[in-house]
Chains A and B, each alone.
Chain A
């Protein structure tokens, strides 16, 4: 069984009506970092997770959750 990080960044981003580039600029990372984190291809550091949570004004746990492969 493999654990992976599931995230809700895309939903929060669309609720706030910000593009990947705008979000990337706001937290000083590349657009590719945002894009790969959103799609689950790259697991960000705690620093980026905290920056994202601060930006959306939510807790890190609201943005990210630990899931097991095969879970929906």
Chain B
């Protein structure tokens, strides 16, 4: 039996999807950012400690939001859940906007890497690192857009 989507359930699902994207993107971007910082004056012991603490906080956030997102997903129509559709027009609009910004940010990252890749890091970045950076930016911008758009309408 498929669950009936209600605007309240869809709002919870969208919020948790946004949080999930934000935490997952941040975790993936963390080593990339720390690699860039390593080559600057900010690198050192304190950077490693900060990296571990930030990773732990983000990881806890990721697990919590993942559990809540799966729970919220069970309360909406399963087809809509898997195809990332929302019956509520405004939530669907936010979701589509997030995809749009995410695509633009990913493209910008690719352009920046293709033009200045070797000058951003000391050594030439590997294919894995570039892919990591793009996936991170993609998820982070997707999640952040949803959270900002939802937060701005609490009136």
Q: B-contacting residues of A (Cβ < 8 Å)?
A: 24, 28-33, 35-37, 39, 41-42, 44-45, 47-48
Given contacts A28-B7, A30-B8, contact A45 B153 (CB under 8 A): no
- Docked pose: A4 CA to B155 CA in angstroms: 21
Task: Identify which of A31, A39, A41, A48 contacts B89 (C-beta below 8 A).
Answer: A48
> Can you name 19 A-B pairs with beta carbons within 8 Å?
A24-B7, A29-B89, A29-B90, A30-B7, A30-B8, A30-B11, A30-B88, A32-B11, A32-B90, A32-B91, A32-B150, A32-B153, A33-B88, A33-B89, A33-B91, A35-B153, A36-B90, A45-B89, A47-B89
Q: Given B8, B88, B155, which contacts A39 in the complex, CB threshold below 8 Å?
A: B155
Q: Once bound together, how far apart are the Cα atoms of A70 and B155, in whole Å?
A: 25
Interface flags for B84-96 (1: CB within 8 Å of A; 0: not) read: 0000111101000
- B93 touching A30, Cβ below 8 Å: no
Which A residues lie within 8 Å of B89 (CB)?
Answer: 29, 33, 44-45, 47-48
